[in-house]
Amino acid sequence: MTALFNLLPEAVGTIDADSKQAILEQLANRFAQVYGLDPVLVLERIEEREKLGSTGFGRGVAIPHARIPELARPVAAFFRLASPVSFDAADGMPVDMVFGLLSPEGAGAAHLHALAAISRMMRDEQMHAALGEAPGAEAIYALLANVIDRDAA
């Protein structure tokens, strides 16, 4: 989808979750289903990263990320939450959008570039509002794909 990471339509959706742990578990399962990864390994790696510090970066957004050995290139998933959930974010606000990223274990700069692109996209006020108002997964994916493709050009 982009030079930085793959985001497939099946990796985008709205979920119900009542805790940070429930979000991370659903994220690991979605990565496993869509990209054929081991859900136990994905959850383990994401949890290891969260122990270093919350990936809740503020303004209602979290970007859980990790590096795993099974990948050839970075992959992403996006969840809009049915209701906000506490995520130990830097600004103390609960999150209602989660953009997950997994990269190959040896992907140093590639992982950082993908994180930076996601961060820029999620800080954009218009994009943030549009994602919150989108009627469903197809519309959310269309918004994300449009911005990712535009920024890659």
Measure the CA–CA gap between 72 and 67, rounded to whole angstroms: 11
Residue with tokens 């918004």: 143
Dist. CA 29–CA 15, nearest whole Å: 12
Classify each residue of 35-73 as buried b or exposed e, where b means 16 or more C-beta atoms within 10 Å of its C-beta.
bebeeebbbebbeebbeeebbbbebbbbbbbbbbeebee
Q: Which of 65, 111, 113, 128 is catalytic?
A: 65
Q: Are 89 and 53 in contact (CB under 8 A)?
A: no
- The CA angle 70-98-90, to the nearest 5 degrees, is 110
Query: Distance between CA atoms of 15 and 77, rounded to whole angstroms?
Result: 12
Q: Would you call 128 a catalytic residue per the annotation? A: no
Residues noted as catalytic: 65
